[in-house]
Amino acid sequence: MPHNLIKLAVVAREAISTPQILHVDASNASDDEGGQPEDEVEERWMRRLATILDAPGENASDAARLANDLWVGGRSAAMDVLDANARGITDLVNVAEPWCALGPQSEGINYVGVEVHDQAALLSEVYYGKLRRHVHAARQARPGAVFLIHGDAGVNRSAAIAAALLIDDGLNLIEVMRLLKERRPHCLTNKGFRLQLVRKARRMNRLAGPDDEDYDPQAEPPSFWHNAPRQREGLFS
């Protein structure tokens, strides 16, 4: 864990006493940020995602389990990790810096974080690349590592990062969206992040599976994905 975790948390708590505008992860204000669909394919898939994600729903708890080693949540879930840690989280993946959690287990939790806003190219190498490298290295070095991806409310930035990781693990976009809607009913209201996920899945030919009406068996993924497993072993129990 970086030595700056406690320092970051202390700075964040000191800032709470200063009047400021707080960024809220669950905002709908960014619907038109992050670009517009560039062709009919992107438009069609954005409509598909809206059909799944825009149905009303409320998050039943502050953290939701998406896979054996992957949870998504907000600030209170992150604070629980450094207190009771009932979920056995080993790694905090924070998309809401400079805020970060502080608690009695701060020295025992592995940590990576970025400061990113709703308008950003979240899935770029600058943000997602850094977080993905941490997750990949932790999985290789520490079998059994369990990650909490968290933002302020666990709705947009954290959900988008978790979705991208699941796509990289072998799931297709529609599978991931249905899983998120089931486990985190109020999520990915940010249409810019949805579009970034559509573009990522399209590049990898992971928009849908063979049983989907929009599956395109002619599309070819990049060569380095040809031998990739359909799904990372042990992803679900």
Where along the chain do its domains lie? 4-16+41-208
Q: Cα separations (Å) of 76 from 148, 153, 156?
A: 12, 8, 16
Buried/exposed 132-146: b ≥16 CB within 10 Å, e otherwise: bebbeebbeeeeebb
Taking only the tens place, the pLDDT of each residue in 136-146 is: 999 999 999 99
CATH number of 4-16+41-208: 3.90.190.10
Over the stretch 100-145, which tens digit does the pLDDT of each residue have? 998 998 889 999 999 998 878 999 999 999 999 999 999 999 999 9
* pLDDT tens by residue, the chain, 237 residues: 444 555 555 455 454 444 333 343 444 444 445 578 888 999 999 999 999 999 999 987 789 999 999 999 999 999 999 999 989 999 999 999 999 998 998 889 999 999 998 878 999 999 999 999 999 999 999 999 999 999 999 999 999 999 999 999 999 999 999 999 999 999 999 999 999 999 999 999 999 988 887 777 666 555 444 444 556 666 765
pTM as predicted: 0.84
SS3 content of the chain, % helix, strand, coil (to 5): 40, 10, 50
